[in-house]
Amino acid sequence: MRFATKAVHSGGEPDKATGAVSPPIVTASTFAQDGIGKPRGYEYSRSGNPTRERLERAVAQLEGGKHGLAFSSGLGAITTVASLLNKGDHVIMCNDVYGGTFRLFDRVFSNFGIRLTRIDARDPDAIARAAKKSTRMVWLESPTNPLMLVLDIRAISTVAKKLGLLVVVDNTFASPYLQNPLKLGAAVSLHSTTKYVSGHSDMIGGALAVSDEEVYERLKFLQNAMGAVPSPFDCFLALRGLRTLHLRMDQHSKNALAVAENLQASRRVAEVYYPFLPSSPYHRLAKKQMSQGGGMVSFRIKGGYAAASRFLDSLELFSLAESLGGVESLAEHPARMTHSSLPEKERRKMGIGDDLIRLSVGVEDTVDLVEDVKQALDSV
């Protein structure tokens, strides 16, 4: 079955009891049992819920994994994966990650004795150089947030496998439609389903896809033991989003490429970060591991913070807002918004300056979006 068919049918099969073609939202917290120790399939919704299971199955199928797990937020999924680690374990993380991921390791898991080394993972051999006896995990994002670097997931996974390290890829920016990290050798593919998976900026959620049975069993245990599970209603919203993921991602990618090309042509723009621009240093690699570029575009505007602020104020169709992946276009200033939780030194090291703007290009008409960006640049 091809992706579009799986997207429409995975998790959306007619309900066995009623024939309903839209997934029923089972809100029950607990389930009647046929006798002591004889549950009919479900016991308590933290450990298992029919609506959540549909979503988990769908995520697994769309990612090409054996198992899926759903969470109450992307960070809930990240926290659960990080809880595979023990005191004294060491993690290698790519430099450019979502600020909340770095904050969690830097300010929470460090208190439990988990140590972190950040590296420029564009060189896969940097993994071997940073690895210690205590290293257990490699944490990647690709494309990265917000600089749109593309990391070679297959090459990194090959190096990591030789060292016995678990590779986790935050696949939020690409979505399961554009990239499948498990097929490239990663052990865990992670999503903030808040973004492209649900796609309408109306819920907060997270998900994992895995194939290794042992890793799955440990994560399943942690999901129940830690309790960061999503509500059935949010699972329904994520399932509904998945059914149109391919259609939305096609339009996001088409619009983002057009916006990126127009930004590149502007004398007011210093640099554009979009891996599917032929001029991008990541173009070849991106085309190898992704089917399209997705909806995220970042760029540096000439004139620093003042120009960035004027540009953002002048946009009419793009709302100034954090988050990404919804049908509507959004724009934001990473240094003062999504990545403000990073210490300034970290931000500078990563290259997140006051001139950087990140766009989440929506699914509106391509020409309207390009015209909006042009008029906002003209207003700077």
Residues near ligand PLP, by CB under 6 A: 73-75, 98, 100, 141, 145, 170, 172-173, 192, 194, 204, 206, 323
In angstroms, what is the minimal distance from the CB of 75 to ligand PLP? 4
H helices of the chain, where?
3-9, 50-63, 74-82, 99-103, 125-130, 153-162, 175-178, 213-226, 232-242, 245-264, 283-289, 304-314, 344-350, 366-378
Nearer to ligand PLP, 98 or 318 (CB): 98
Greatest extent of the chain over all pairs of C-alpha atoms, in Å: 73
- What is the C-alpha separation between 63 and 210, in angstroms, rounded? 9
In angstroms, what is the minimal distance from the CB of 186 to ligand PLP? 15
What's the number of CA atoms in the CB half-sphere (13 Å) around residue 374?
11
| Whole-angstrom Cα Rg for the chain | 21
In angstroms, what is the minimal distance from the CB of 16 to ligand PLP? 31
What are the residue numbers of the active site? 46, 98, 170, 195
In angstroms, what is the minimal distance from the CB of 28 to ligand PLP? 25
Residue nearest to ligand PLP (CB): 74
Nearer to ligand PLP, 145 or 280 (CB): 145
Nearer to ligand PLP, 131 or 293 (CB): 293
CB atoms inside a 10 Å sphere around CB 221: 13
In angstroms, what is the minimal distance from the CB of 166 to ligand PLP? 18
**Phi and psi at residue 14, to the nearest 5°:** -55, 140
Nearer to ligand PLP, 173 or 216 (CB): 173
- DSSP string spanning 153-190? HHHHHHHHHHTTPEEEEE-TTTHHHH--GGGGT-SEEE
Nearer to ligand PLP, 98 or 311 (CB): 98
